Chain A
Amino acid sequence: GAVVSQHPSRVICKSGTSVKIECRSLDFQATTMFWYRQFPKQSLMLMATSNEGSKATYEQGVEKDKFLINHASLTLSTLTVTSAHPEDSSFYICSAIGGEQYFGPGTRLTVT
């Protein structure tokens, strides 16, 4: 089946710094990718929809200036958490539509 990769799988950063997470569709082109956030023992919450070549659509309550999304090509979307704080620590999952919706393995972000 189609594969979606995320990099890095784990990242630890200091409070106030920015961190970028990459999401790639490895064997298909994806005009639309999604970014989810999952807190421990909770469900996946949709943060934003990333469309290639246009601005991302953010869900209500998600700060677009804090969570910058760039979908520069048909195989790559990036999520940048700017000025990270401990409360941003979470598991971030991307997914891409290639017929079906395929999920990346997730990125665990820890902000110290």
Chain B
Amino acid sequence: AQTVTQSQPEMSVQEAETVTLSCTYDTSESDYYLFWYKQPPSRQMILVIRQEAYKQQNATENRFSVNFQKAAKSFSLKISDSQLGDAAMYFCAYRTPYNNNDMRFGAGTRLTVKP
């Protein structure tokens, strides 16, 4: 079974600075999808960014970008120009294209943004 590991339970960043959240995963599949989700206090899951494993180019969405290292099975999230609204729990997730496309989550990283 696939596992997702987030080794940073908490991270803190100064407003306007850059922070990187780490994620590693374990899989024997060659094709899959990786995601970063944000969960604010409302607990609504918000998709931040996604990456298809077959794409070598790292995904970017405005201030959010990833460093996808397929061989190392690493998928980190970089948040640039951090804003107070970025404070939330961030979950890394793996989704298989097989087996009903189920999604597995890491333990999460709580990000605090200091003004």
Contacts and interface: CB of A to CB of B under 8 A. Distances in A.
Interface of A: 32, 34, 38, 42-46, 49, 51, 57, 91, 93, 95, 97, 100-101, 103, 105-106
18 contacts: A32-B100, A34-B102, A38-B43, A42-B107, A43-B91, A43-B105, A44-B105, A46-B104, A49-B100, A49-B102, A57-B100, A100-B47, A101-B95, A101-B103, A103-B45, A105-B43, A105-B44, A106-B43
Given A43-B108, A44-B91, A101-B95, A34 B103 contact: yes
* Chain A interface SS verdict (over half): strand
Contacts of A42: 107-108
Contacts of A43: 91, 105-108
Contacts of A93: 43, 45
A49 B104 CA distance: 12
Given A43-B105, A44-B91, A103 B44 contact: yes
Contacts of A46: 102-104
Contacts of A45: 105
Nearest to B43: A106
Contacts of A100: 47, 50
B56 interface: no
A51 B45 contact: no
